[in-house]
């Protein structure tokens, strides 16, 4: 009685309107959630979206939170365009923090202007190496990159815990599981005096600009789009799918690794057992909410960063559980995917031998 069929040509306007519709549905649904929790929906939404950015410091914190989200999402979006489903940005971010932070751990007594650039480079290398593992298994054995990249997240987190509880633990830290506090030479420069907004924000914007130029102006970007849209046509044109897989995973890993460095040498200032509250996973939502476009990803990254700040504000002011942030982000992804289904497909009902749309 019910059949789902693909639309011949989805409306282009709806492709860009669905994120707005998804946000509207999320806000509408969250009012029900807040009511069930015994909190005024208006007051809760005010704490989520208005209270965190009422002053300049709040705006700066919003950009600090958005930095790792944008860096990770930019790399993921390139892979998603090529149908390379990297779900392990969280692990690549962690390895970037380990590689980049490890430079300071072993050169903590060095005061040089080259220390921070070396940390950023090594962070990118660490993330790219972690992305190379699923790339190798995908191209060599056709292993599912979703599973391999996801499982490597937990390996990276356990390695981080091993290091901060063991050889990298601060000898003057009273046995707490944390590294030495980073020196001035190993810390991201502050962009806005009196706030924590750091140079990582510039790196995020440069990554977005670079991705846009690469996708719009280069042969590699064209290959990414062709392989993602029509793999057989790409193969017929001589484009190597394996090379695109390697390129996508290395790029995503490198940018996630830079995000990891920007966290440990930025707002955190040292290596801790927990570096990210899930930026690598939230970046997946950011990439799709931004329609895999660099400009859209910047806007979506800022929006999702606001959910982190709003969740913390609601937890303090209203006593809401911190899990509300995850529920809110999950609803955004759910409604976005639901809207995409309705844009790309239509339901047809059969009645008395006739199809009714």
Residue 303 has pLDDT above 90, yes or no: yes
Looking at per-residue pLDDT, the higher value among 139 and 325 belongs to 139
Mean pLDDT of 153-167: 97
Predicted confidence at residue 2, as pLDDT, reads: 73
Give 40-93 pLDDT, tens digit per residue.
999 999 999 999 999 999 999 999 999 999 999 999 999 999 999 999 999 999
Give 91-142 pLDDT, tens digit per residue.
999 999 999 999 999 999 999 999 999 999 999 999 999 999 999 999 999 9
Span of 90-104, 110-124, 181-195, 316-330 with lowest mean pLDDT: 316-330
The whole-angstrom separation of Cα 122 and Cα 108 is 15
What's the pTM value of the predicted model, to 2 decimals? 0.93
Domain coordinates in residue numbering, the chain: 1-39+320-357, 66-315
User: Do 249 and 76 meet the contact criterion of CB atoms below 8 Å apart?
Assistant: no
Confidence of residue 320 (pLDDT cuts 50, 70, 90): confident
Predicted confidence at residue 225, as pLDDT, reads: 94
Confidence of residue 342 (pLDDT cuts 50, 70, 90): confident
Predicted confidence at residue 350, as pLDDT, reads: 67
Confidence of residue 351 (pLDDT cuts 50, 70, 90): low
Span of 36-45, 191-200, 219-228, 260-269 with lowest mean pLDDT: 36-45
Q: Enumerate the H helices of the chain as residue ranges.
A: 12-36, 41-49, 56-81, 89-106, 115-141, 145-165, 200-217, 219-229, 231-236, 241-264, 279-289, 294-318, 323-344
Span of 23-32, 90-99, 119-128, 246-255 with lowest mean pLDDT: 23-32
Question: Domain 66-315 - what CATH class?
Answer: mainly alpha
Among 335, 322, 326, 250, smallest CA distance to 281 is for: 326
Q: What are phi and psi of 4, to 5 degrees?
A: -105, 125
């Amino acid at each position: 009685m019910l059949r789902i069929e693909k639309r011949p040509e989805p409306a282009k306007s709806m492709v860009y309107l669905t994120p707005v519709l998804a946000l509207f549905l999320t806000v509408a649904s969250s009012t029900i959630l807040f009511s069930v929790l015994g909190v005024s929906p208006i007051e809760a939404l005010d704490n989520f979206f208005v209270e965190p950015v009422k002053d300049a410091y709040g705006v700066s914190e919003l950009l600090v939170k958005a930095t790792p989200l944008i860096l990770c999402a930019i790399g993921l979006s390139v892979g998603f365009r090529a149908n390379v489903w990297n779900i392990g940005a969280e692990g690549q971010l962690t390895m970037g923090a380990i590689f980049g932070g490890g430079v300071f751990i072993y050169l903590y007594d060095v005061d040089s202007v080259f220390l921070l650039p070396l940390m950023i480079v090594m962070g990118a290398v660490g993330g790219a190496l972690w992305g190379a593992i699923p790339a190798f298994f995908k191209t060599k054995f056709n292993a599912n990159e979703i599973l391999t990249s996801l499982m490597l997240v937990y390996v990276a987190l356990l390695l981080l815990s091993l290091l901060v509880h063991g050889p990298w633990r601060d000898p003057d830290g009273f046995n707490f599981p944390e590294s030495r506090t980073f020196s001035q030479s190993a810390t991201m420069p502050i962009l806005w005096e009196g706030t924590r907004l750091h140079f990582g924000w510039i790196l995020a914007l440069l990554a977005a600009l670079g991705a846009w130029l690469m996708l719009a102006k280069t042969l590699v970007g064209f290959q990414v789009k062709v392989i993602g849209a029509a793999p057989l046509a790409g193969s017929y044109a001589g484009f190597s799918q394996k090379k695109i897989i390697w390129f996508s995973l290395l790029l995503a890993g490198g940018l996630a690794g830079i995000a990891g460095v920007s966290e440990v040498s930025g707002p955190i200032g040292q290596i801790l057992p927990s570096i990210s509250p899930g930026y690598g996973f939230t970046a997946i939502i950011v990439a799709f909410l931004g329609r895999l476009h660099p400009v859209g990803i910047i806007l979506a990254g800022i929006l999702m960063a606001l959910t982190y700040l709003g969740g913390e504000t609601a937890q303090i002011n209203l006593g809401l559980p911190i899990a509300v942030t995850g529920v809110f982000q999950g609803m955004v992804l759910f409604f976005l995917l639901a809207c995409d289904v309705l844009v790309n497909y239509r339901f047809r009902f059969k009645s008395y031998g006739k199809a009714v749309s």
